[in-house]
Amino acid sequence: AQKITQTQPGMFVQEKEAVTLDCTYDTSDPSYGLFWYKQPSSGEMIFLIYQGSYDQQNATEGRYSLNFQKARKSANLVISASQLGDSAMYFCAMRVLNTGNQFYFGTGTSLTVIP
Amino acid sequence: EPEVTQTPSHQVTQMGQEVILRCVPISNHLYFYWYRQILGQKVEFLVSFYNNEISEKSEIFDDQFSVERPDGSNFTLKIRSTKLEDSAMYFCASSEEQYSNQPQHFGDGTRLSIL
């Protein structure tokens, strides 16, 4: 079975500091992709960053980077230089090649950036 | 930047009534999806659609649900006889390819409230 676990229901970070949001995943399939989405209070789902299971390097997109530790099956999102606008829910998601095209989502982490 | 659009943003319906949620995927995308998110819970996959037919569906997507692409631009989710537990945010998503590193692009969601 495919599963995504996010163990931090809520996190706080000081503005301009870095924060790490945890994500662990479970799949026996060697081919998969990991995605992070941001969901502000308005409700939309915004794609942030992607990491493929065969990627040799950690993904980076601006202030977002992914700390991918394949042996530990973790794909933590690191947000550097936090801004007030980063306050939102963050969801980790996985797509597994041999189980179709659906995304499996975690329960999310609510991030609050403190001025 | 092209985006997935969903209407209405909020739908209130009496239990037992039929409801149709509408989505306009990104124009060059070929794969379409519906997800739902019950308040405070994780996003759950309902169904994926390609080439005018369902390609995958979850256990949630029972006989009460149906999807349709009635014309070249719209993608709809119909719930035939709504139940209280159908109250949720429903997200439409689309992607250009499947089984790739491309994310699924989500709309802003329709909040469905069943009374």
Per-residue pLDDT of A17-45, as tens digits, reads 999 999 999 999 998 999 999 999 888 88
Name the closest residue on chain B to residue A52, using Cα atoms.
Answer: B101
Q: Is the pLDDT of residue B99 over 70?
A: no
Q: What is the pLDDT of residue A1?
A: 81
Q: Cα separation of A63 and A36, whole Å?
A: 13
Q: Which residues of A touch B55 (CB under 8 A)?
A: 100-101
Residue of A106, A99, A77, A91 lying closest to A28 (CA atoms): A99
Residue of A113, A102, A114 lying closest to A35 (CA atoms): A102
**Could you say which of A43, A91, A97 has the minimum Cβ distance to residue B109?**
A43
Query: Which has the higher per-residue pLDDT, B78 or A102?
Result: B78
Give the sign of the dihedral formed by CA B21, CA B111, CA B1, CA A65: negative
Q: Is the pLDDT of residue B101 over 80?
A: no
Q: What is the pLDDT of residue B86?
A: 96
- DSSP letter, residue B86: G
A105 CA: distance to closest CA in chain B (Å): 6
pLDDT in tens, A36-92: 999 998 888 899 999 999 998 999 999 999 999 999 999 999 999 999 999 999 999
Question: Between β-strands B88-95 and B31-37, what pairing exists: parallel, antiparallel or unpaired?
Answer: antiparallel
Residue of A46, A26, A24 lying closest to A37 (CA atoms): A46
Taking an 8 Å cut-off on Cβ atoms, the answer to whether A97 and B91 are in contact is no
Q: Estimate to the nearest angstrom the gap between the alpha carbon of B101 and the chain centroid.
A: 22
CB pairs under 8 A between A and B: 59
Q: What is the pLDDT of residue B2?
A: 67
Q: Is the pLDDT of residue B105 over 70?
A: yes
**Could you say which of B41, B95, B106 has the minimum Cβ distance to residue A45?**
B106
pLDDT band at B1 (very low <50, low <70, confident <90, very high): low
How many helices and strands (H and E) does chain B possess?
Answer: 0, 11
Taking an 8 Å cut-off on Cβ atoms, the answer to whether B33 and A102 are in contact is yes
Q: What is the pLDDT of residue B16?
A: 96
Q: Does residue A53 sit at the B interface (CB-CB below 8 Å)?
A: no
Cα A29-A30-A33 angle, rounded to 5 deg: 90
pLDDT in tens, B40-93: 888 999 999 998 999 999 999 999 999 999 887 899 999 999 999 999 999 999
Four-CA torsion A88, A112, A109, A82, nearest 10 degrees: 80
Q: Which residues of B touch A46 (CB under 8 A)?
A: 106
pLDDT band at B96 (very low <50, low <70, confident <90, very high): confident
Q: Cα separation of A52 and B105, whole Å?
A: 17
Q: Cα separation of B12 and B108, whole Å?
A: 17
Q: Does residue B101 sit at the A interface (CB-CB below 8 Å)?
A: yes
Taking an 8 Å cut-off on Cβ atoms, the answer to whether B43 and A45 are in contact is yes
Average pLDDT, chain B: 92
Contact A105, B44 (CB under 8 A): yes
